[in-house]
Chain A
Amino acid sequence: MDATAAPFSPLLLLGLALRPVPGVAALRVARPLVDAVARRLSPLVRDRLEGLSGTVAVLPTDFPYGLMVHVGADGLRMEPVDVLAGACGATAILRAPAFMLLDLAEGQGRDGDASFFARDLTLEGDTALVMALRYALEDAADTGAAPFTLVADSLPLPTALRARLASHLKTTAHLAADDVRKVQAAVLDPVRAWRARVDARLAAMEDRLARAERQSRPRSSVALTGKETHVPDA
């Protein structure tokens, strides 16, 4: 998969559904939640990010909004951004499908190296900062900083509800991803089957053509040495 191409995903569909919403309004709504998530996350990753500074633009390839992650002496800050607005001021840019980015933050699925090898993820700019951020986030995920947990914990809800909401969000996201994959398969499988039939027919035609060509050649003769030799064309 080309990391710059948008995969068919629930967030791609959600992004399309959000298209009528003005970007400025969407970012304004998202900002308080993103601020709250950053406040919870910052102390959990500060240790591994010590001495580093810069801004990582995390840009999903299948969703219109991403994050600018600012790392500095005061810890970590985040702000939502419109992906189309680019990554102005970023010292590093990370692009990948949104679910892959969530998996990376949680340490699930494939790891960052594997996604990079497969070209599903692209990284430009300050490699050291991105690597450190990745290790910090992955390690923090085991201490209550998994993405859905962070979101749930940042909402004004009773403590008992937060864990249930985090679990529900995660389950719903994965179910939605499965459903979208099923839709994709339902659409593409008949096309793949048709293509397989066409490929098989082409292969059969090529085979028949090759046999016809062999049969149309001058007949071979066996020399006295016993080795098969071909009669020259001319």
Chain B
Amino acid sequence: MSRTLELVCPAGTPSALTAAVEAGADAVYFGFRDRTNARNFPGLNFSAAEAAQAAALCRDRGVRPMIAINTFAAAGQEHIWRQAVDTAARVGVGAIIVADIGVAAYAARTYPDLRLHLSVQAAAANPEAVAYYARLFNVQRVVLPRVFTVDDIRMVTASQPGVEVEVFVLGGLCVMAEGRCTLSSYATGRSPNRDGVCSPAEDVRYEQEGDVLVSRLAGYTINRFGPGEDAGYPTLCKGRFEARGRASYLFEDPVSLDATALLPDLAAAGVTAIKVEGRQRGKAYVAAVVGNLRRAIDSLANGGPPGVAVSAAGFTEGGRTTEGAYKRGWR
């Protein structure tokens, strides 16, 4: 393989960031402690001071720090998102990851030298959309939706060679039109798009009914896991609902994405960077999966097999992995 894929890794805390750097990340993305990023969870994320330290650590180690400012600015409160962009620029990140057109416009106008990446939350799902963001805001990289096949990706890279493409290969699998999904809002009044949180922890409750685990979101029962059955995240898209008298996963099973085996195909399709989901995960997860992916990329560069990144480490949601939309049989 001639192309070397850039490994973009998540960090929810400074300790996870250190773990990612030490495990071989090429770039680390993180967010501030507010609703400007899509993992606005209690106790998670970086203060401005922590972001500055993180950026400095990354630069020292030759790793690109990126800050996700990837929610949609609320009317009348744009200053929160602008402030996040200002802070990111001040601490010297290697890129900011944006979703909102207004935030992108502000960043492009105010900090023309600051590298802009388009978040998966922007749902740029065709070459024209990618070209638009590149032309208007000088977006240099786009993170493609997790419902693309390798052929879909190739279509974008071939028609927009001037824009780098980043794709998710590992972690949580979102099958909705990202940035458009309002399922969480229906149940809780908060969504990843405006509040940075899907299934807010404040609305999640687990109960043990004997050996059965019941998960509830804002009072709605969304799943019942039988004795010994592996559990999943409490999101509505991965809830088990009854239709025609039978309870099943109507949207998506609880399962983790692992497209490690497809790395050669992704590289051949013109992908620049591969991304690991999981800023909400612990540093043990970050260290394990980043290390495995580092070895996979290095193995590929030396003509070896990519291997499997996450399943062997026992970190998977629902105890299973999938190559997801990359191999979508339902299409």
CB-based contact A135/B44 at 8 Å: yes
CB-based A-B contact count at 8 angstroms: 113
Among the listed stretches B130-138, B159-167, B281-289, which one makes contact with chain A, having 4 or more residues with CB under 8 Å of it? B281-289
Counting CB contacts under 8 A, is B211 at the interface?
A: yes
CB-based contact A117/B282 at 8 Å: no
Assembly CA distance A117 to B225 (angstroms): 10
**Across-interface contacts of A133 in B (CB, < 8 A):** 43
CB-based contact B43/A136 at 8 Å: yes
Q: Nearest Cβ in chain A — how far from B314, in angstroms?
A: 6
**Across-interface contacts of B18 in A (CB, < 8 A):** 142
Q: Choose from A4, A47, A123, A141 the contact partner of B206 (Cβ within 8 Å).
A: A123
Determine the interface band of chain A, counting residues with CB < 8 A from chain B: 35 or more
Decide: A119 near B231, CB < 8 A? Known: A128-B42, A132-B42: yes
Assembly CA distance A129 to B202 (angstroms): 8
Counting CB contacts under 8 A, is A229 at the interface?
A: no
Binary contact track A33-48/B, C-beta < 8 Å → 1, others 0:
0000000000000011
Decide: A2 near B228, CB < 8 A? Known: A128-B42, A134-B43, A138-B15: yes
CB-based contact B230/A119 at 8 Å: yes
Decide: A138 near B283, CB < 8 A? Known: A111-B315, A117-B318, A119-B230: yes
Among the listed stretches A102-110, A175-183, A186-194, A202-210, which one makes contact with chain B, having 4 or more residues with CB under 8 Å of it? A102-110
Counting CB contacts under 8 A, is A112 at the interface?
A: yes
Q: Nearest Cβ in chain A — how far from B160, in angstroms?
A: 35
Question: What residue of chain A has the Cβ atom nearest to residue B202's Cβ?
Answer: A128
A binding-site residues for B, Cβ under 8 Å: 2, 4, 47-49, 52, 103-104, 107-114, 116-119, 122-125, 127-129, 131-136, 138-139, 141-142
14 contacts between A and B (CB under 8 A): A2-B228, A112-B282, A113-B315, A114-B284, A114-B315, A118-B314, A119-B213, A127-B201, A127-B205, A131-B41, A134-B43, A135-B41, A135-B42, A138-B282
B binding-site residues for A, Cβ under 8 Å: 12-16, 18-19, 41-44, 47, 200-202, 204-208, 211, 213, 225, 227-232, 254, 280-285, 314-319
